[in-house]
Amino acid sequence: MTTSPGRQRAAIQVCAEQLGLVLIAEAADLGVSARNRSPFERPALSSWLQRPHDYDAIVWSHVDRAVRSVAHMCQLLEWGQTHATTLVFGMPEEHQPLLITPQAGGNVVRRCMDLAYAAEQEARAISARLTGAHEALRAAGRYGGGLVPFGYRKAPHPSGVGWCLTPDPETADVVRTVVDDARSGLSLVAIARKLEEAGVPVPRDRHAQLQGRPMGGRRHGRDFERFRWTAGSLSKILRTPALMGHRVHKGKTVRDADGSPVLIGPPLLAEEEFDALQRILDARSNGSHPKRRKTSLLIGVAHCAGCGGRMYFATRKGYVDGDYVCRASARGTTCPAPAAIRADWLDDYTVSRYHEAFGTDGEVTREQLLKDGVHVTVAKGRSGGGPERLAGPDTSRLTFTIVGFLPQQRQG
């Protein structure tokens, strides 16, 4: 556990006392790199930078806690001058804070730029050292940190130095079961559903468990108590050479000077088993598909009535026109009534209703539909076939809505 946040708070407190400042709040962006993100891109700090009239000064423990880039320092200094806000850097090694008022002269500004340049060079040197260290670890077959491949857990390296990987008793058997299910012809969507029902944690959650941290977290702006299995997450597990105990970098096996794979742990699958699994997965993903349009007309416009989620275009073998389908399973959720409909039917229906609603004719683009707030909902249709199913869409299960219209004006 790092002690840096505590040291920074202590330095900031000393700095505030020296200058007679009263601390009113703290913005702590733990785990966010000043090298990669400017002050205006950090969640906690940026919210304060958006309301500069609530305070007179901002205090950092050091320049490199604020920025590690000359460009970011320029942005910060310009912001301080624009909003008449004082910037303070603790500089504990000099026992005297660096104060940049909105009226600061050229010498102070140059001092800031020099410190920002030094911080930028230091960050580059650290990055280069880390890259070299990880390359050495990869070559030696040692685990260098990060997400542990599913089916493994961290263990002491046999050399007595560093770490390697060993099969995880709780998830190695899960991997073998998943592989058997895939071989038997079960789809990845169905396998993901089985794992969900069994309460098996996804790789990210299992990694958190092994580190003693709570599962779940934030993804795409939403908070989750635990993450869900999807066909995509399963595919990543089944496709990685880590299943053979290989050290993997950017999805590829790391090889030594002789071209042999660098091993980081015992294999869960023999090479022959892994290759056979890849052929099965390739056979499912490959094939001849009709040429599809570059952008489907109703992406973001068509929604499933069963779950409210977006519908996406899917090709149909042997047909030029595909379907719009509910993709709840790809999002790791279950739709109680997943909808699907021929794409050309729904396109024609939507364009026709759009022309009626706006009194126009001619081509309609996806951008127009989104801009004008068009929303089409599709309910699940009945199963079975028959000649009547080829006559056109069942409009009773379609709802055409324009955001801002009264309900009676927008029902289809």
42-85 pLDDT tens trace:
878 888 888 888 998 999 888 888 888 888 888 888 888 888 89
In this prediction, residue 135 carries a pLDDT of 47
Going from the C-alpha of 56 to that of each of 16, 40, 100, 175, 335, the distances in angstroms are 12, 18, 12, 57, 52
Query: CA-CA-CA-CA torsion for 189, 191, 193, 199, nearest 10 degrees?
Result: -150
Query: Residue 412: what pLDDT?
Result: 41
pLDDT digits (tens, 9 = 90+) for 281-307: 888 765 444 444 456 889 889 999 998
Mean pLDDT, residues 183-202? 89
Calpha distance 302→397 (Å, rounded): 13
pLDDT at residue 88 tops 60? yes
Specify whether the CB–CB gap between 312 and 328 falls below 8 A: no
The pLDDT value given to residue 387 = 53
pTM, to two decimals: 0.43
* Residue 177 pLDDT: 94
Instruction: Give the range among 22-26, 259-263, 363-367 with minimum mean pLDDT.
Output: 259-263
Q: Would you say residue 259 has pLDDT above 60?
A: yes
Residue 383 has a pLDDT of: 62
Q: How far is CA 326 from the centre of its chain?
A: 22
Within 10 angstroms of residue 322's Cβ, the number of other Cβ atoms is 20
382, burial (CB in 10 Å: exposed 0-12, middle 13-18, buried 19+): exposed
* Highest-pLDDT range among 106-110, 225-229, 235-239, 358-362: 235-239
Q: Do 327 and 300 meet the contact criterion of CB atoms below 8 Å apart?
A: no
Q: Across the chain, what does the average pLDDT equal?
A: 80
Closest residue by Cα to residue 322 from 339, 350, 286, 346: 346
With CA atoms as reference, report the closest residue to 190 among 325, 307, 329. 329
Residue among 387, 384, 350 nearest 369 (CA) = 350
Q: What is the mean pLDDT of residues 390-404?
A: 79
Averaged pLDDT, 169-181: 92
Asked whether 341 and 381 are in contact (CB, 8 A), the reply is yes
